[in-house]
Structure 1
Amino acid sequence: MAGYEGGLPDAEAVSAWLRELASLADEIADLVPGEPIVSAGGSAWFDTVVDVLAPGGKPLAGRRVILRSGAYVSHDDGYYSRVTPFGRHPEEGSLVGALEVWAQVLSAPEKGLAILGAGRRDVPFDQDLPVPLRVRALDGTLRAAGGARVVKLDDQHAYVELGDTDLAPGELVCLGVSHPCTAFDKWRAIPVVDDDHRVVDVLNTHF
């Protein structure tokens, strides 16, 4: 018996849903050989899944629990950075967004606006727009993106309101993604970089 609770609004609703999931697993337990398997989890409520299906770290009697802990491998700088269980339990640690999309500034056509060479084909947009994090200047130096904010995407371009920062054509903007699940299906190969942004490996995706 497997399900996904990520769309529910709060811990109370998630807990009630998980109890129902466990009850349904009990009802079909006699129909399948071996120990019933109950599986749930995502990036937002995996703490509640454990609390209900395996209180104290021990699965409820007669069940095998499989926790699907969501996008922990990559995390993000948008939606999941706000709803992660580590926000509720900071003493347990934290996660850091590991996916970056670097886009070149193609144009600064008017005051307060810049156009980047990345769009819906390159970055997720179903749960928030990408987040400008850093800027690599033409001389290679890095600076914070300040108040820059992506306000619109089309297929191949991002529209950035500059706020208190400036962007010049040719500079590179590091974009953090929101909802990494829909980033992996956009890239057949994802470079892995070290702290100096040297490529040390390549991950192939399969969708």
Structure 2
Amino acid sequence: MTDLFGAYDKGLWLPDAPVSEEELVSAQHGLFEGPFTFPVMVARRSALEANIATMADYARRHGVLFAPHGKTSMSPTLFAAQLDAGAWGITVATANQALAARRFGVPRVFLANELYDARVLRWMAEQVGSGWELVFYVDAPEGVAVAAEALAGTAGGRLDVVVELGRPGGRTGCRTVARAVEVARSAAESGLTVRGVAGYEGGLPDAASVAAWLRDLAAAGDAVAEAVPVDGTPVVSAGGSAWFDVVTDVLGPWTDRAEVILRSGAYVSHDDGFYRGATPFVRRPSEGGLAGALEVWAHVQSVPEPGLAVLGAGRRDVPFDLGLPTPLEIRACDGARRPADGMTVVRVDDQHAYADTNGVAVRPGESVRLGVSHPCTAFDKWRVIPVVDEDYRVVDVLRTYF
């Protein structure tokens, strides 16, 4: 991984010689005066640090382990901060993400997906055999067979699996507890190391349905532990960023006989859209709070007609799958800042956002601070993300590896 930044890094303006990460950070450039160009996405340091601390405290308080989902940021800097705060490991979704995590030095990886690539599985078995910790999903005898064949091709390798429980109409995973037990038996008989069960409650419509599914997951955990030898303390894992409170409510009683592992990921930067309303801390403010850390600054490109402002940030710069960005503030050309209350982004195309000004005065050349919705599709649009303090001085840089 190079530490040089140059002309190909979006959001930076370095038309001449590249600069090192150390040079860029040590200069403490102001965002609006330094070598940056718009649009640019930044992360507020104070919010990142507070969010990481809040979820680490939550996990400790509830006696659960925490493996935040790394697909949100794919940033080694944030992985290290999460691990330093006490995370049990980092969750990933793909083989490439697992490889990146290994290269980042993550000692324990939870791969929350099925794997059918024998070459990848052989590599993983060898890495685990040499001391790395990794666990991944199985939900069918076919997956067990591919993993067992890959394991057989290694000397001293090992593959740890959890059986995934799904639900009718949902994503992957066994549809019944009985099927989960069958797959667990197949895995154990094939030489794989069974660790427990896992699944994902996202997509369920309400707390009652999430709780019902989690009770099934706990029952699957007990049934698997009774049916096959489970290595160590059985694992029961669930918990995205919208229902982790229900996970701790329902699975809390299992912490005396299982390792309950939460895998929430979006919390690290939170947002000013979907997760601002969906986080469990809205329902339970006494448990903590999160703050949106990501902002995209964009110039007002044009005010071509009354009530319309066209901003220079579009689908290539901001997420749009779980809501459009939210205008938070306007910065005038002289640096004065004022609220953007009432302004609304109504649609985006590749490089532009169309904002209904709703009576807010805005002029071409000014800049708008946009809060994003859904961080998982914000980080992946930027390879370099300046980290700023409260005065918008750049104090660090996040690199992403998607």
- Report the TM-score range of the alignment, normalised by the length of the smaller protein: over 0.9
Percent identity among equivalent residues? 67
> For 1:70 and 1:48, how far apart are their aligned partners in 2?
16
Deviation, 1:60, is: 3.8
Give 1:9's aligned amino acid: P
* 1:203 equivalenced with 2:398 (yes/no): yes
TM-score normalised by the chain length of structure 1: 0.94
Which residue of the partner structure matches residue 371 of structure 2? Answer: 176
* Separation (CA, whole Å) in 1 of partners of 2:271 and 2:278: 11
Q: Which residue of 1 aligns with 2:301?
A: 106
Task: Give the letter for the 2:247 counterpart.
Answer: V
Equivalent residues in 2 for 1:47-196 (5 A)?
Answer: 47-55=245-253, 59-196=254-391
Aligned to 2:237: 39
Offset of 1:92 from its aligned partner?
2.1
The one-letter code of the counterpart of 2:351 is Q
Q: Is the Cα–Cα contact under 8 Å of residues 146 and 164 in structure 1 kept in the other structure?
A: no
Larger CA deviation: 32-41 vs 178-187: 32-41
Which residue is 2:215 aligned to? Answer: 19
Partners in 2 of 1:198 and 1:189 — Cα distance? 16
1:185 match: secondary structure: helix
C-alpha distance in 2, partners of 1:92/1:164? 38
Q: Name the Cα RMSD after superposition.
A: 1.2
Shift of 1:31: 4.7
CA distance in 2, matches of 1:116, 1:150: 9
Instruction: Return the structure number with greater helix share.
Output: 2
1:6 aligns with 2:6: no
Moved over 3 A (4+): none
Which sits farther off after the overlay, 128-137 or 89-98? 89-98
In 1: Cα distance, 2:199 partner to 2:380 partner: 22
Matches of 1:40 and 1:60, distance apart in 2: 13
Contact 1:86 1:94 in 2 (8 A): yes
| Matches of 1:178 and 1:71, distance apart in 2 | 10
TM-score (norm 2): 0.49
1:41–1:70 CA contact under 8 A, matched in 2: no
* Deviating more after overlay: 164-173 vs 26-35: 26-35
How many angstroms does 1:106 deviate by? 0.4
Unaligned runs of 5+ in 2: 1-196
Deviations 1:176-205 (A, max 9, x none): 001111111111111100000111100111
The CA distance in 2 between the partners of 1:160 and 1:183, in whole Å, is: 19
Aligned-residue offset at 1:35? 2.0
1:25 aligned counterpart, secondary structure: helix
SS at match of 1:200: strand
Q: Residue deviations 1:109-140, cap 9 Å, x none?
A: 10000111100111111101000000111110
Determine the C-alpha separation between the residues in 1 that align with 2:247 and 2:353. 37
Q: Secondary structure at the match of 1:72?
A: helix
For residues 170 and 134 of structure 1, what CA distance do their matches in structure 2 show?
14
Letter in 2 for 1:66: I
Structure 2 distance, partners of 1:28, 1:189, is 44
CA distance in structure 1 between the partners assigned to 2:218 and 2:287 by the alignment: 26
Give the superposition deviation at 1:42.
1.5
Q: In the aligned structure 2, how far is the partner of 1:164 from the partner of 1:64?
A: 54
* 1:154 to partner: Cα distance: 0.4
- On the 8 A contact 1:39/1:67 being kept in 2, the answer is yes
